[in-house]
Amino acid sequence: MRRATIAIATILTAAGGGAFADCEDVNLYDVSGGSFVLDSSLINAWSASGTPVDLVVPMFVIEHPRGLVLFDTGIAAAVADGGCADYWGDGLCNFVTPKWTREDVVDRKLARIGHALADVTHVVHSHFHVDHVGNIEMFPEAVHVVQKAEIQHAWWPEKMFRGPFLLKDYDEARDFQYMELAGDFDLFGDGCIEVLSTPGHTPGHQSLAVRLPRTGTVILTGDTMYAPEHLAGTAVPGYTQDVSANLASNERLKWLRDAEGAEIWITHDMAQHKARRHLEPYE
């Protein structure tokens, strides 16, 4: 942890305190799209049920001189345009109701920013729920960056939390190349893209810090927090496997925000999504 802190401080000093000189050629794209509906009681614990809430399906692309990085792959293409019941089954479709078209799928989004599936060198998985890992099998040649605890849990989830883990999303990906982590990891050793271990929502959940030359640090939360109330500390995430660990992970991201003057992007939040640029680079 001390080495990582020193590395970050060195980059801050070199960049004049606000941006990251070593990350000059790094660009971040928000390619999120489509949405799904959850009951409000699954957003905030102890809240009344019966109110539908729209959540955006998060996906992000980072251009780095040493590779093209994708953070999450979204909902499976097979779900698009009315395919939910056939692929997910009625039970899951009623629990997580997608509004998902073929144009929302990650391959089409990559094409719109000038990239092909084969260009992606690294896929960082926040976790293996159906709205995040659905198209992993589109990337057989990439390095898949995942916490070891997550991949083990995805293959054998606890029974009461099994619902959002759909084995058919990744059953053909078993022999892919996995970078199995047990904590934080600086992806290219330059401080520009840092994987952050943030367990709680799932046992091996992880978030991502992207350090940009002009924008500064952007923290992509994954499902560590998925509503503004979680960032404000006024509500507890409703769907989480370990509440205490989840809250500790939230606090960790907020401390990082304060240390670096970072932006926290709540990646499922529809209001934040609408306020951001899409398919255009953040530099």
Would you state the pLDDT for residue 16?
Answer: 37
Instruction: Calculate the average pLDDT of the chain.
Output: 93
Q: What is the mean pLDDT of residues 18-23?
A: 70
Q: What is the mean pLDDT of residues 237-254?
A: 97
Does the pLDDT of residue 14 top 90, yes or no? no
Residue with tokens 């916490």: 147
Would you state the pLDDT for residue 241?
Answer: 96
Domains of the chain, by residue range, sit at 2-275
Q: Work out the burial of residue 73: count CB atoms within 10 Å of its CB; fewer than 13 is exposed, 13-18 middle, 19 or more buried.
A: buried
Query: From CA 146, how far away is CA 182, in angstroms rounded?
Result: 9
Does the model's pTM come out above 0.75?
yes
At the top level of CATH, which class does the domain 2-275 belong to? alpha beta
Query: From CA 12, how far away is CA 184, in angstroms rounded?
Result: 19
Tokens, residue 270: 């529809």
| 149, 203 contact by CB (below 8 A) | yes
